[in-house]
Structure 1
Amino acid sequence: MGLQKCGSCLSCLLILLALWCIAVNILLYFPNGKASYDVSNHTNYVWHFEEICFSGVMILVLAVLMILLEHDTFFQCCQSESCNKTYRSFISVVLALLGIAFSGYSVIISTLGLVQGPFCNTPAGWEYLFKDTSGGYLTNYTSWSRCTEPTNAVKWNIILFSVLMALSGLQVIICFLKAIAELKRILCGTYSVFIQPGII
């Protein structure tokens, strides 16, 4: 019962994190909280929709499926209750591993977006001013003033991509814990997919 409650809590937490990822990524579309900038004037990694798709919608779907698998009213895939629980745990492991892949990919995309820096207006025109700094601009605060538009574009980019990295990182950890919990049910539990009552 404890494992089941723990598993449900982890899945519910994934839903919250997925919703936060979607919300934060939407904020990236509006530098400095304004919608007056041209849609093309944004970091590539924002407009590829990776965060909304992978750490947002996909994690949301996986979390809902995991919660459904926790309920005893879920579809019975075989006659034995032990067999059925084992298969449900196995499916949960697969979903958790997919979650690790999706959220891990989002961590990479957020890191790349952070390293690349914002697309902003400079004395030379609109460009990725910090693209070739390999993230060195993050500590070179004096260079931020070269981005004249949008206002506070560098801070906006750094804060939101950092938040996305943290949220996606938490998703990776939670999915990993979920996979471990379900594997423990399969390997150390009292039920087995190989031995079913009444066969011998």
Structure 2
Amino acid sequence: MCTGNCAKCLGITLIPLAILSVLCNILLCFPGGKVASSTDHITDEVFYLGGILGSGVLMIFPALVFLGLKNNDCCGCCGNESCGKRCAMFTSIIFAAIGFVGAGYCFIISAVAINKGPKCENGFNATYSYPFHDGNYLSNHTIWSQCSEPKDVIPWNLTLFSLLLIMSGVQAVLCAIQAINGLIGTICGDCCGCCGGS
């Protein structure tokens, strides 16, 4: 597969992942699927915007660059017909690094949020706090009763942060693949040789 075609496939895959990440982050603003009466009732990690900034905005730019690589003009500069394509592939490595950082940010935020558990009303003292520590609620569902409000906030947060964790992990892998693909394209050029075929 040509390096340009490979980059285009990666870009096509990254765009829906970025959109879904933004959507998951927005849904986390509604704990348990309900409108929070106060921002203090929303888990702090939601406001770090891992899905919106990290796996969303910072991923859209690399995805658009990857999509455009196939159509980039590779018909020469400085007497070298593959120079333009090589320069474009080198630029894609930089954007892949930006995407990798964004995905890594979202991955870390999601992992911390899953381990910490959601902020909820503690059944014992009726105040909003983090009743779980070090992920102890993940294997012990009997202690979920410590969260009395909002209802179903634990599976809600766990599902959405897990989706963000998985999607950001996939995005990081795809950006790493494009970095390698871009390096190959920089060194070898695009194997499809758009000028040679015309």
TM, length-normalised to structure 2: 0.87
- Would the alpha carbon gap of residues 81 and 40 (structure 1) be closer, same or farther in structure 2, given more than 3 Å must change? farther
1:115-194 map, 5 Å: 115-122=115-122, 123-124=124-125, 125-130=127-132, 133-189=133-189
Name the CA distance, whole Å, in 2 between partners of 1:153 and 1:48: 18
Distance 1:117 1:190, change over 3 A: closer
C-alpha RMSD over aligned residues: 2.0
Q: Which amino acid aligns with 1:173?
A: V
Give how far 1:100 is off: 1.1
Matched, 1:71 2:65: no
Query: Aligned AA for 1:166?
Result: I
Unaligned runs of 5+ in 2: 192-198
Aligned length: 188
Alignment partners' CA distance in 2, 1:24 and 1:18: 10
SS of 2:42's partner is: coil
Matches within 5 A, 1:26-45: 26-45=26-45
Any residues of structure 2 matched to 1:26-105 within 5 Å, and which?
26-73=26-73, 78-79=77-78, 80-105=80-105
- Tell me which amino acid in the other structure corresponds to 1:107: F
Matched to 2:154, the amino acid is V
Specify the SS of the correspondent of 1:185. Answer: helix
| Identical aligned residues as a percent | 36
TM-score by length of 1: 0.86
C-alpha distance in 2 between matches for 1:190 and 1:67? 15
- After superposition, the Cα gap between the structure-2 partners of 1:190 and 1:40, relative to the gap in structure 1 and judged at 3 Å, is closer
* 1:196 aligned residue: none
In structure 1, the partner of 2:196 is none
* 1:35 Cα offset (Å): 1.3
Partners of 2:76 and 2:37 lie apart in 1 by 53
Alpha carbons 2:86, 2:190 under 8 Å: kept? no
Q: C-alpha separation between the residues in 1 aligned to 2:119 and 2:46? A: 11
